[in-house]
């Protein structure tokens, strides 16, 4: 077997994608690390537009109703700014090996993050999946799981990462938030290097699946995902049971149990709601950690919540 997943990727695709002939463009980058032993999830999300607008959110959360950290910042960046060496509002990013490694730092008030990432597999494009990547979502999207060194200081706690598993992604293009009706995105990993990444979406009345499985050092695209999720009365995700069928027909079993949920701020006209769940995970019987994201359109979510209560 050989690793698959390079579809449509270019040498500079971990850098900024600039506007061509007046076309709009947007890069979004994401890093995460879940710590079930500390009952904490951590994520950093950064976006840059072709016109120079930029912003980020930095979140650390657990089981409590209020997150430990929910920082947002927005502003402008110069035309020459790029993602090999980037600094913005207390956040810095360097990428010594594009599509292989990066170092992210964040220092603001009493929050300090040092996140040194090295991929355990080649960056994976969702175009490598049989269902491809719908144009309403992005031009392309890189997903990659890896080892993380560094640590976080927050709320009087200091946690070191000597060889922790974590995940990152990078997508570019302009997203049409009006098309998707719902999606589930997730990642799960174990200390031994087992990884499952998945995206389940429904849009324009059709289902689609993306993601990959890393098993014994080999990366295989997902063909389809059999899944069932559980929610609380507010439709916050609580658990997921799923079977991932890869392109070679092998099946991987995943169990996610959510210990904390955070809702991200959005400002679009559809009142899009993105919720991130920090999880303990089990992949084919092996314990690990993960993250389970849900996307909803606001009006539909309000209807479901009111109906359940």
pLDDT tens for each residue of 260-278: 999 997 777 888 999 999 9
153 against 271, higher pLDDT: 153
- Whether residue 9 lies inside any domain: the answer is no
Q: Does the residue 19 lie in any domain?
A: no
Find the angle CA(115)-CA(120)-CA(124) to the nearest 5 degrees.
100
What's the CA gap between 5 and 23, in Å, rounded? 27
* Residue 180 confidence (pLDDT): 96
**Among positive and negative, which fits the CA dihedral 40, 116, 244, 252?**
negative
Contact 243, 251 (CB under 8 A): yes
Q: What is the pLDDT of residue 2?
A: 37
The count of other CB atoms within 10 Å of the CB of residue 7 is 15
- Higher pLDDT among residues 210 and 20, named by residue: 210
7 inside domain: no
User: Distance between CA atoms of 161 and 29, rounded to whole angstroms?
Assistant: 21
Q: What's the pLDDT score for residue 35?
A: 98
Q: What pLDDT does 145 receive?
A: 98
DSSP H helix total and E strand total for the chain: 1, 19
Measure the CA–CA gap between 59 and 45, rounded to whole angstroms.
9
Q: What pLDDT does residue 258 have? A: 99
Confidence (pLDDT) at 11: 79
33-58 mean pLDDT = 97
Instruction: Give a yes or no: residue 144 inside a domain.
Output: yes
Is residue 158 in some structural domain? yes
pLDDT in tens, 63-73: 999 999 999 99
Contacts of 309 by beta carbon, 8 Å cutoff, 6+ apart: 233, 234
- Tallying the residues shown for the chain, one arrives at 309
Instruction: Return the pLDDT at 22.
Output: 73
Q: Is the pLDDT of residue 1 over 80?
A: no
Domain containing residue 200: 26-308
Instruction: Record the tokens describing residue 58, joined without a space.
Output: 């930095």
Q: Tell me, yes or no, whether 282 lies in a domain.
A: yes
Please report whether residue 6 resides in a domain: no
Give mean pLDDT, residues 180-188. Answer: 98
Please state the rounded mean pLDDT for residues 86-109: 97
- Which domain CATH number covers 137? 2.40.370.10
The span from the CA of 51 to the CA of 76, in Å, is 9
What pLDDT, on the 0 to 100 scale, is given for residue 308?
A: 86
Question: Cβ distance 136 to 125 under 8 Å?
Answer: no
User: Based on the structure, what is the number of domains in the chain?
Assistant: 1
Q: What does 96-142 look like in DSSP terms, one character per residue?
A: EETTTEEEEEEEETTEEEEEEEEESS--EEGGGSTT---TTT-SEEE
Burial environment of residue 97 by CB neighbours within 10 A (0 to 12, 13 to 18, 19 or more): exposed
CA distances from 275 to 42, 145, 148, 158, 292 (A): 13, 21, 24, 26, 8
Band of pLDDT at residue 21, cut at 50, 70 and 90 = confident
| Planar angle of CA 280, 184, 224, nearest 5 degrees | 100
The whole-angstrom separation of Cα 70 and Cα 87 is: 19
Listed in sequence order, the residues at least 6 apart from 216 whose beta carbon sits closer than 8 Å to its beta carbon are none
94, part of any domain: yes
């Amino acid at each position: 077997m050989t690793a698959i997943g390079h579809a449509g990727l270019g040498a500079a695709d971990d850098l900024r994608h600039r506007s061509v002939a007046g076309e709009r463009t947007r890069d979004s980058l994401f890093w995460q690390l879940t710590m079930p032993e500390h009952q904490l999830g951590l994520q950093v999300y950064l976006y840059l537009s072709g016109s120079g607008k930029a912003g980020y959110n930095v979140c650390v959360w657990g089981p409590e109703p209020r997150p430990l950290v929910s920082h947002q910042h927005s502003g402008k960046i110069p035309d020459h700014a790029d993602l090999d060496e980037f600094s913005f509002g207390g956040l810095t990013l360097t990428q010594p090996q594009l599509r292989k490694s990066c170092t992210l730092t964040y220092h603001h008030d009493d929050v300090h993050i040092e996140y040194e990432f090295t991929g355990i597999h080649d960056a994976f494009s969702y175009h490598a999946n049989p269902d491809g990547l719908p144009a309403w979502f992005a031009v392309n999207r890189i997903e990659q799981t890896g080892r993380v060194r560094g640590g976080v200081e927050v709320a009087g706690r200091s946690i070191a990462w000597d060889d922790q598993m974590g995940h990152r992604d990078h997508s570019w293009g302009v997203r049409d938030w009006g098309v998707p009706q719902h999606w589930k995105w997730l990642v799960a990993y174990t200390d031994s290097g087992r990884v499952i990444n998945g995206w389940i979406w429904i849009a324009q009345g059709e289902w689609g699946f993306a993601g990959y499985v890393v098993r014994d050092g080999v990366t295989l695209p997902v063909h389809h995902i059999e899944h069932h999720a559980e929610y609380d009365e507010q439709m916050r995700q609580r658990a997921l049971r799923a079977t991932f069928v890869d392109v070679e027909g092998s099946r991987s079993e995943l169990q996610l149990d959510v210990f904390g949920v955070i809702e991200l701020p959005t400002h679009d006209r559809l009142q899009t709601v993105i919720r991130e769940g920090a999880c303990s995970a089990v992949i084919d019987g092996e314990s690990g950690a993960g993250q389970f994201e849900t996307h909803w359109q606001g009006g539909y979510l309000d209807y479901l919540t009111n109906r359940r209560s």
